Structure 1
Amino acid sequence: MSRILFVLYAEKTHLFIQVPLARAFAAAGHEVRVASQPELVPEITRAGLTAVPVGRDHGMGRLLALRPEFRSRFGGSDLPPFDVADVPGELLSLGYLRAGYADVVPWWFRLVNEPLVDELVGLCRWWEPDLVVWEPGTFAGAVAARACGAAHGRLTWGVDFFGRVREQFVRLAAAESAAGGSSGGSGGVPGGDPLGEWLGELAGRYGVGFDEELTTGQFTADLLPAPFRFETSIDYVPVRYGTYNGVSVVPRWLWEAPVRPRVGFTLGLSAVERLAGYSVSVVEILKALAGLDVEVVAALSGAEGVRAELEGSGVGADRVRVEEFVPLAALAPTCAVMVHHGGFGTIGTTSLHAVPQLALAEQLDAIWLARGVTSYGAGTDLRVAEATGERVAHEVRRMLTETSYAEGARRLRADMLAMPAPAEAVPHLLHLAERHRRPPTANPYRAPNTRRKATT
């Protein structure tokens, strides 16, 4: 039996991504714990997993509420240095990437990692996990793993723009150094390395030296097929996306087959919980969809107000049903088309059910995810500025009438089903853990009779 620790800063949608793999490890007989800030503990335990609260809650929510400039960056497509992840390497500027890291490290990475890292290292040195699985922004997971000698790897929740940008930064910095640039910064990176310098200082507190494993892990479990990936040299381990919708109840009305083709509509959780709200005119789009010969089911925060506005416009519930929450795993199989925000969980769930998709993407990772769906011919994507009611209705009508979209959706599902399910991936991940373990750094938490490392 091995000990597996999942690590993330308190972000509910990131937890939902981790749950299927965590459950797979537990079902295989391994001891699984999930470490995060206290705010997330109720969601972890509701998922049937063992929670370990570490540190104090981060201030990302307060920052985004108080500082519109950060909210717009985090919720939009303009987030240097990651907004150029899809730009060909020869067109990238080291100065742009460096300035982007210098901006994003303080208000994102420091903000969410610093409050939990000390207790997380203490937990790892005491519990001695064999494998630490961390979400790509929780670098503290890599530091804690190295401090206790555990293997560690990332689990993606989107297209790996973190890894792509980091590789390009390292490549350009090496080229600048070879060309005679001034020395300085972490690891001798000329002109400085804001991410490396911060991570080097953070890791150094616990006797851990900086190297690139702290930025991208020893391997990365990737939950979507290879066509969604950026080109990198990272060791990606394919693991099929698994569905978890949180605490869910399937409503009685969903048992009945729709009389007309059903169009699902959802814009995710983050837009309301973390950001400023929806960036498209929800009522305008729903009214336009109601003009088609379809039944619309919309899962939206603030459903009561949306229902009242639709009823005031003469749109009846027989055409548009608006609910506060409908479990997507139950709704998607009943739909002919799904209209959504391009979120990772929504795309993963919809793709598993071979439903054509229209993504109204705004956040940078959502834009790339939506393009991946489009590349399969499984749907199409619109930027938020183009997402008028008329345009959305036009695209949905095309997806209902042109068979190529359903064929593309089936191709996408086939590629997802060809990936190892979480339970099938567990043995390979344990083999990687065995290969990557290292001796721990000095450990003030070690008891006199520590356990023998579990074998896999």
Structure 2
Amino acid sequence: MRFLFVTGGSPATVFPLTPLATAARNAGHEVIVASTEETLPAIVGAGLPGLCVSPVPIRHHITTDRSGAAITEPTDPEAHMIYIGHAFGRLAAACIDPLLDFAAQWRPDVVVGGMLTFAAPLLASRLGVPYVRHSWDTGEPPVVDSAAERELRPELERLGLDRLPVADLWIDICPPSLRPADAGPAQPMRFAPTNMQRPLEPWMYVRGEQRRIVVTAGTKVARGNFFDYLVDLVGKVKTVGAEVVVAAPAAVSDELSQRLGVRAGWLPLDVVARNCDVLVHHGGGGTALTGMACAVPQLLIPNMPKLLAPSRRLADSGAAVMLLPGEDTAEAIAAGVDQLLHQPIHRERAAVLSQEIMTMPSAADVVDVVEKLC
């Protein structure tokens, strides 16, 4: 069989799909992963064949409309989620024709699309092949889908569709106990921490004498994009008095190290997280799932409206503490970290979540399920 995976937006949109794509290749299937140019290093870094279907970064679609006019980012939470949906709709519009051209030469038997990769269902519908929707994290608000559908009205009409096609299978990597109450039926799949690697150093895989706190704001940090947020967050965490390590893209690592006086850079988080005591971050889904899989208590400070609901569910489980934007003072962060370090219930609940993830079907098991669609 030929599996075509479609994703895009940032490396964080590639990592969740990597285990299934790798398992499909290991099972003897042909696999190609189509994405935007900015995410290709994450694809080929995982040893997967990567196809560029757009040179335009997601930031362009977030900040400008189709005419090239600048868009002001809304502050209202509901409006912000709609804004994100339209941006991913524009990303899909930019990718659909290159995908159709590619599929005319290399016809897939199944299309697997990342959660907000709306070009995937359009492509699968046009080809008449099964469409599998693959979650990226612990949940995306439905309002994002609705906004993307409105943005894609011209493409839907051109393809003879009145709405976005429904998936033939939804693969969900969210632990069942953390799924939203209104989530629909899905095929569960075990989350396997995945990230771009670098040569390991002993401190990464061995615990030091001090308590270690890993701080991150995800894969999108750059000058002018969450950089100041991360600097501010690290400054507050440093008041706790533990060893602080910062996971951030390599492009900003030197400046962060010099400015903050800490180890900073692209880290193999799947290794480092297992040797830390607390994970402090922006509420990103991939980071949160890595913490869950590694049984690490987490302090969540969600920096986007769509991250509030999944962060709240994780905090309600007892495996994390959440601070809302505006509540993240140095004193509140220190108190939250102290609570996670010294109240055993948080590590116990984190271990329960880790065990729940381990009982979910493996990527190899799910490949068998996908095969039966064709």
TM range (shorter): 0.7 to 0.9
Q: Aligned equivalents of 1:273 and 1:5: distance in 2?
A: 33
Displacement of 1:329 in angstroms is 0.7
Deviation at 1:253, TM superposition (A): 2.5
Contact 2:37 2:56 in 1 (8 A): no
Inter-partner Cα distance in structure 1 for 2:309 and 2:202: 36
Give the drift of 1:343: 1.0
Counterpart AA for 1:123: F
Cα distance 1:200–1:235, how it changes in 2: closer, same or farther (>3 A)?
A: farther
Question: Structure with the greater relative contact order (CA < 8 A, sep ≥ 6): 1 or 2?
Answer: 1
Letter in 2 for 1:370: S
Could you tell me whether the CA contact under 8 Å between 1:64 and 1:274 is conserved in 2?
no
- In structure 2, what is the Cα distance between the partners aligned to 1:255 and 1:398? 25
Distance in 2, matches of 1:165 and 1:331, equals: 33
Number of the residue aligned with 2:121? 142
Helix, strand or coil at the partner of 1:326? coil
SS of aligned partner of 1:142: helix
* Alpha-carbon spacing, 1:308–1:124, altered in 2? closer, same or farther (3 Å): closer
Cross-structure match for 1:94: none
Given residue 401 of structure 1, which amino acid in structure 2 is its aligned partner? H
Contact 2:319–2:350 (8 Å) recurs in 1? yes
Q: Which moved more, 1:152-161 or 1:345-354?
A: 152-161
Aligned residue runs from structure 1 range 62-81, under 5 A: 62=60, 64=62, 70=71, 72-73=73-74, 78-80=77-79
Q: Which amino acid is 1:287 matched to?
A: K
Quick one: distance in 1 between partners of 2:100 and 2:127? Answer: 8
Match in the other structure for 2:21:
22
User: Are the equivalent residues in 2 in contact too, given 1:219–1:235 (CA < 8 A)?
Assistant: no
2:294 is the alignment partner of 1:353? yes
Deviation for aligned residue 1:66: 7.5
1:261 aligns with 2:261: no
Alignment of 1:283-432 (within 5 A): 283-290=234-241, 294-300=242-248, 302-310=252-260, 321-431=262-372
What secondary structure, in the 3-state scheme, does the structure 2 residue paired with 1:279 have? helix
Contact 1:145 1:152 in 2 (8 A): yes
- Structure 1: distance between partners of 2:365 and 2:180: 25
* 1:6 to 1:71, Cα distance in 2 relative to 1, 3 A: farther
TM-score by length of 1: 0.73
> What letter is aligned with 2:155?
L
2:310 aligned counterpart, secondary structure: helix
User: How big is each residue's C-alpha offset from its partner over 1:248-284, in whole Å with a ceiling of 9 and x where there is no partner?
Assistant: 2222332433112222222212243783534361353
Q: By how many angstroms is 1:396 displaced?
A: 0.9
Helix, strand or coil at the partner of 1:338: strand
- Say if 1:300 and 1:209 are closer, same or farther in 2 by CA, change over 3 A: closer
Q: Aligned partners of 1:141 and 1:411: how far apart in 2? A: 35
Quote the residue 1:317 is aligned against: none
- Which residue is equivalent to 1:60? 58
Partner of 1:188: none
Specify the alignment match of 2:98 in structure 1.
119
Pick from 205, 209, 221 the counterpart of residue 161 of structure 2: 209
Alpha-carbon distance in 2 for matches of 1:231, 1:160: 11
Residues 175-231 of structure 1 show CA distances to partners (whole Å, capped at 9, x for unaligned) of xxxxxxxxxxxxxxxxxxx7556545413434x43345x2x4222111111232223
- Decide which moves more: 218-227 or 329-338: 218-227
Q: Which has the larger radius of gyration?
A: 1
Q: Is the 8 A contact 1:263 1:297 kept in 2?
A: yes
* Counterpart Cα distance in 2 of 1:10 and 1:307: 26
Q: Does structure 1 conserve the Cα–Cα contact (< 8 Å) formed by 2:283 and 2:307?
A: yes
Conserved in 2, the CA contact under 8 Å of 1:261 and 1:335? yes
Letter in 1 for 2:237: L
**Identity score, percent:** 26
Cα distance in 1 for partners of 2:72, 2:225 equals 6
Contact 1:284-1:388 within 8 A present in 2 as well = no
Does the residue aligned with 2:301 lie in a helix, a strand or coil?
strand
| Correspondence for 1:175 | none
The secondary structure found in structure 2 opposite 1:48 is coil
**Which consecutive unaligned segments of at least 5 residues does structure 2 have?**
none
> What residue is the counterpart of 1:36 in the other structure?
35
SS of the aligned residue for 2:12 comes to helix
| Change in CA separation of 1:410 and 1:126 when aligned onto 2, cut-off 3 Å | same
Inter-partner Cα distance in structure 2 for 1:255 and 1:121:
44
In the TM superposition, residue 404 of structure 1 has moved relative to its aligned partner by: 0.7
1:282 to 233, 237, 255: 233
1: distance between equivalents of 2:226 and 2:203? Answer: 32
- Structure 1 pair 413–138 and aligned structure 2 pair: CA distance change class (3 A): same
Alignment RMSD, CA only? 2.8
Contact 1:243 1:329 in 2 (8 A): yes
